[in-house]
Amino acid sequence: MNSVYTTAESDSRASAKAAAVGAGWVSILQGLLIFVPMVVLGAAINWPESLSDPADIALPRLLENEGAVRFGYVAYLIYSILFAVTIALLVRYVKGAALGVLAAVIIGFAMISALARSIGIVRWLVAAAAVLSTTVELFGSDASSLIFFGTTLVQLWFLAVGIWLLVRGRTRIAS
């Protein structure tokens, strides 16, 4: 019977050690990953200072450095999503100290932060694609079909979401 207790205790220690190592590596990655967008975007568009630049200065700079901007913002998006994962792993590791409700609040705020940053970053990557798609007019091509397609796609998305919500609402009411 003593050996069973020792095995369970040993498994618990191994699990705690694995949690510590996993949380440690993810935390190190989280700490270092911010330097990718800072270096890449800083060199390409003077980020984050350039966020307050007027459009006539910012847009040409974005277009000139499109590849670096895209890479930098994708790295920033990964950093932002990884933030919630890092916090969850750290809270899970520390949870042995009986954090309880506070742990859920901490993870909730981390998820809200990651979501808000991710929406902002994706908006810039979506915005970049929209701006670039209409620049074909600068080269003598007609962008009206692109604009029509984009508008139609967005409207179809609204219709699909509306139908989904109606169906979901009816199935919940019927349950």
Whether residues 80 and 11 share a domain: the answer is yes
Number of domains in the chain: 2
Q: Are residues 99 and 150 in the same domain?
A: no
The token duo for 17 is 């050690």
Residues 55 and 120 in one domain: yes
> Is the model's pLDDT at 173 over the cut of 90?
no
For residue 9, give its domain range.
2-141
Tell me the pLDDT tens digit for each residue of 100-112: 777 888 888 889 9
Do residues 134 and 170 share a domain?
Answer: no
Give the pLDDT of residue 151.
Answer: 72
Q: What is the pLDDT of residues 113-141, one digit of tens each?
A: 888 888 888 776 766 666 666 666 667 77
Q: What is the pTM of this model?
A: 0.60
Same domain, 90 and 164: no
Residue 3 banded pLDDT, cuts 50, 70, 90: low
The reply to whether 146 and 79 lie within a common domain is: no
Domain shared by 147 and 67, yes or no: no
Cβ(74)–Cβ(99) below 8 Å: no
| Residues 152, 133 share a domain | no
